[in-house]
A and B are shown apart, each in its own frame.
Chain A
Amino acid sequence: MAVLKLLESGSRYGYELVEALASASDGVLDMGQSTLYPLLYNLEAQGLVKAEWRDATSARPRKYYALTAKGKKRLAHDVAQWRAVEKAMRGLGVLQPALGGATG
């Protein structure tokens, strides 16, 4: 879902995604790079993202990944589900201390 979320704002290439994941999550989602590409290929196989080689913006070609309509739909669904879980956890007081930055 994190990868899909990063692609929501626009297409990105592999290394960019690695960097973005690491910085946006303060290293929490800093995944091993050997797993990123299989993950992307899986999303592609499921039709959630589409890949495209672009040569224009750089001296070397890069493969960019972008959300498909199906991917957007899945992201919306997963986000909604995650929020419901988060809400439930908050209701139980499980998430409050860890995510307490917002309240304290």
Chain B
Amino acid sequence: MAPTYDFDPTASNWLVRAYHTPVQDALRGHLSARLDVRREIAAAALPLPLPGLVYTVVRRSRLWRREQHDVARELIAHFADGLAAGTSGDKLAADFGSPEQAARLIRRAKLRSRPLWWRSARAATRLFLAAFVAGLLTYSAMAARFYWGRPIIAHNYWHEINAARRTSNDQRAWPLYREALIKLGKTEILPEWLDDGPSGKHWDEAMAALARHRESLELMREGAKRPHFGWLLGDPADHAATAAGHQEWMFTQQSADDNEDLISALLQGPQEIRRVSRLLAADARRAAIAGQGATVLEDVTAILSLSEQQFAPAATLVEQLIGIAIFGQATEAVGRTLADYPAALTDEQLQHLAHRIAAYRGGTLSLDFTSERMIFDDLLQRAYTDDGNGDGRITRDGLRLLADSGGGGSALFSSSVARDPKAAWAVLVASPGVAALVGSRRENRELYHRLMDEMIAAHQGPPWQWDRKAFDAYEARMCEMATKTSEHLKYWLVANMLPALAARNSAGERSVQVRDAAEVAIALEIWRRRHGEWPRELAELVPDLLPAVPVDRTDGKPLRYVVRDGQALVYSIGADRDDDGGRASGIPDQSIPTWFGPETPADAMHQPSDSDGDWILWPPRKEPPQDDEPTRPPETPGD
């Protein structure tokens, strides 16, 4: 049976005519409809099924109207010739073969005849689409790989740090400190409240508070005699003890077993210790005023021990900085006692104090960055997959962690945004792309530890011998990571987590300077007692009272010393690095260097803008109360 084809020759109105009219005809105002294939086929009056066959071939060829019209005319002529030769319409249709195949082949052949610009545009479009599809497929594969990845938290650094600190209970100072803190409650006593002596505004209240908390003071002194701080991360005993003492506010419910982000570990113990060290310093001030040298010595020694205990194995940088701050309270207490109440301490007590200060931390006041490395490695294990060979790729959790860690990371991936359903899709789509730009686990780990190693090596020896080139290289690398987007993304974690090593080491240097100044102040007082006057120069203290004149940590020269108006003055040239003859800066603390080490013009950036003047190390200047400090002891329910 001969095939049939649809063909409706009647569909024609002015719109159809306009559609099939060439532009040149239309411009002449003549709707010729010359390109109307239906009309052409109908006019040929071919027998069935040929009109439908021609129309099917032409329509399926999907050519331009002009091309379709040309093909239609040729096929009409072809079949007309066949009919004229005596062949039937059915036979011609059968001999013609498949109209679908004909349409496909005709289209392919006709497209080859089209203009070069059209073929170029078509090739470009195809290329673009192919690239788009390839990109889409690649991105889909990346997305699947990204969302499939899960971090493997293999280490519990809380336990590792606690294991390094664990010791027998009778060696731990913390249980005693904790008890002292529970008894102390929220009471805060600042040493400077006693600066004005019995005539001071807060004297009576401060004295009453010290008397009330005598038990806490004793516990602190006892704790300071123990060799180890013994404070543990997420220690359940802290919760239990504080709950029993109704001081739940002191500790959150973190537990080392929960293995949360190490960086989120709350250091409540060391933070609270600062408060009790201030209590000890206040008591030392009280004792100095009362002429109780033994108590001054006991309190200052306890503060020194308290400070030393902060440098426990795997101590965090925060703990170490707290240790430095507490050490500053001890030297401040010594300096003030010597300046205001020198008679409070006997020669023997002064010598004892000098030896104790000299022995502080074995004389080495450097910082340890082991825990910082642990914090970084802990973040890595929470952010990356683990291939078992130290490498891995960033995960969805990792992106969130990076964003939450701040420091310029895209807020799009932060936890708060991820909870916003409006942003969820954007995060879902963008995450694999961003992840592709973030460096691998190995790349980040290697860079972090390499930079740490380089900077620690650069800080060997006294500051004036620190490696200037290493600093510059480090600064340049950090700057690159901060400003170059690709580098910032690749080493996002490194850029955010590397501590300001130069600043931290400079904090250590400030400790060295105040320690040396305290030694000099004690030696000066002993000299004054022996000779009835101050020495003309510090060299006269050597070797009887000092092994050598300590150096100014800013430039490596001997510490500066003058006697003015009958008062000895020990000072460093300070942040501006020029000798102002012992003149203090106008604004308190502005002359204290935030940066030690070899000086270049670029170092001016590290110094306060109003740093003119010297850093007066002894006698300490009395600072007015700061606005953010309470001016009187707060009343607490426990008091």
Contact = CB atoms under 8 A, between A and B. Distances in A.
Given A33-B78, A34-B96, A63-B73, A41 B113 contact: yes
Nearest to A36: B78
Nearest to A35: B105
Nearest to A38: B105
A37 B96 CA distance: 11
A42 B102 contact: no
Contacts of A14: 74, 77-78, 81
B362 to A, nearest CB: 92
Interface string B70-86: 01011111101110010
Interface string A49-66: 000010000001111000
A82 interface: no
B98 interface: yes
Chain A, interface SS category? helix
Nearest to B99: A34
B515 to A, nearest CB: 93
B108 A38 contact: yes
User: Which of B71, B76, B81, B108 is the most central at the interface, judged by chain A CB atoms within 10 Å of its CB?
Assistant: B81
A16 B81 contact: yes
A38 B73 contact: no
Contacts of B108: 38
Interface size class of B (residues with CB under 8 A): 20 to 34
A35 B82 CA distance: 16
B111 to A, nearest CB: 8
Given A33-B95, A34-B97, A62 B77 contact: yes
A10 interface: no
A60 B97 contact: no
B606 interface: no
A49 B112 CA distance: 14
A41 B74 CA distance: 12
A18 B96 CA distance: 11
Given A15-B82, A33-B95, A35-B102, A41 B110 contact: yes
B121 interface: no
A99 interface: no
Nearest to B110: A41
Contacts of B77: 13-15, 60-63
User: Which of B74, B85, B102, B108 is the most central at the interface, judged by chain A CB atoms within 10 Å of its CB?
Assistant: B74
A4 to B, nearest CB: 16
Interface of A: 13-16, 18-19, 32-35, 37-42, 44-46, 53, 60-63
